[in-house]
Each structure stands twice: as structure tokens, then as C-alpha cells.
Amino acid sequence: MTVPTMSRTPMLSRIAKRDLEALAAAAHERRYRHGEVIFRKDDPGDQFHVIMEGKVRIVLPSPDGEEVTLAILGPGEIFGELSLLDGEPRSATAIAGEDARTVVINREDFSAWLATRPAAAITLLETLSRRLRRSDDLLADVAFLNVSGRLAKKLVELARLYGRDGPPGQVRLTQEELASTIGVTRESVNKHLHYFSSRGWVAVSKGRITIRDAHALEEQAY
């Protein structure tokens, strides 16, 4: 991984060039196909990833094969960082939401690099804080929003994420994947998407949802 590439990553953008050069020397690149499992819950946590291209879903599987999507991450975001800090097994499963390219850094290399760089440590804590706030938002949505509101809010949020490196207003997820992000069934998502579509707020096609009226969806969410 080159230093210019690393400097575009929010977690590393404020790190001095010489420090980035040292980290780049320890990094290597990996590519994943859409749907490929990057790591599973309870796997050893010995690496963390920086997303260069594509999307990655962080999911929590249940014993009966169901799953809840905790986050959908895009270019410039990191995942797998918790295990770098505590050495515990993976707390969730990571799956390529589409063809993805990541840069991988081993725990030992990162720990040695971080030990003498307090500014980088502060940046990592800020990243973890943002991730915790996302979890708080997810809990609040489940507690206070109905299914229609949760779905509308998630569609607007995902449209912004996918719009960073693709057509604006488009969400490239199946209805089953979308259902897992808000903790409901695919049938429930289908029902509410049909309602949104009848009002002209969205257009639905296989594996893709296009936002036609983001303002109406935001009003539905709040």
C-alpha cells in the first residue's frame, strides 16, 4: 500500500508521512469476491483491514442461521480493529458486500507501530468512538422507530454511502440484506418498499433500489 493511498483513509489522514511509510512497509493487499466471507465471528483476531474499494458488511450471526447487519462500510473505513486492541476472537463476521479490495495489517506489526505514536492512538480511539455511536443509533432506531421509519432512514443513509463511489441515490442491496440491517424479515421490507414505490419515493429493481425522493423518506423516518 502506498503512502498517498493510506493518507486518504480517515483513520490515517492526520498521521505524519514518515509514520505512514513505516506502516505501509508492513501492509499487504487482499481482494474478495461479492459474498465472500473475510472472517467469521470467533475467528482469531490477528489482522485489521482498511477498505480501498467496494463495500463490506459486518454481521452478527445467530445459531439458527439468521443474521443482523451491524454496519455496511465503504472505502476509507476500517474493520477488525477491536481484536487489535484486546487480542480477543472476532466479535462479528465480515462479508464482502460487493467485490472489494482491502489492505491488511497484522496485529503484531500494528501494535509495534502504534506503541511509539500517541497521535495515531488518539485517531484510532476516535474511529472506535464513531463505531460505538453507530451501535447506539441502531439500538435507538429499534426502540423508537417503526419498521417504515427504520427502513426509510436506512435507505437514505445507504444511498449516501453508495453515492460516494457510484451513481447517487442508488442502494445496491438485496431485500434480504436490507432486512438484516434493520432487524426485520424480507417480507416486511418488501411490503414497505412496495408502499414507498407506490408513492414515487423509490424505484425497485433486482438487487438495487433507487431513491427518487429523499426528502419524503427523511420525513417518514422522523
Q: Residues 103, 155: one domain?
A: no
Q: Residues 157, 123: one domain?
A: no
127 Cβ contact list (under 8 Å, min separation 6):
10, 11, 78, 81
Q: Residues 14, 113: one domain?
A: yes
Q: What CA–CA distance (Å, rounded) separates 84 from 105? A: 10
Instruction: Pick the more confident residue, 32 or 149.
Output: 32
| pLDDT band at 30; cut points 50, 70, 90 | very high
**Domain that includes residue 211, residue range:** 146-221
Measured in degrees and rounded to the nearest 5, phi and psi for residue 43 equal -65, 155
Give how many domains the chain has, as a whole number.
Answer: 2
pLDDT surpasses 70 at 180: yes
pLDDT surpasses 80 at 175: yes
The arithmetic mean of pLDDT across residues 129-156, rounded, is 76
pLDDT surpasses 60 at 1: no
Q: Residues 128, 195: one domain?
A: no
pLDDT surpasses 70 at 54: yes
> How are beta strands 202-205 and 208-211 bridged, if at all?
antiparallel
The arithmetic mean of pLDDT across residues 184-206, rounded, is 90
Q: What share of the chain is helix, strand, coil (3-state, %, to 5)?
A: 45, 25, 35
Query: Which residue, of 141, 163, 185, is where some domain finishes?
Result: 141
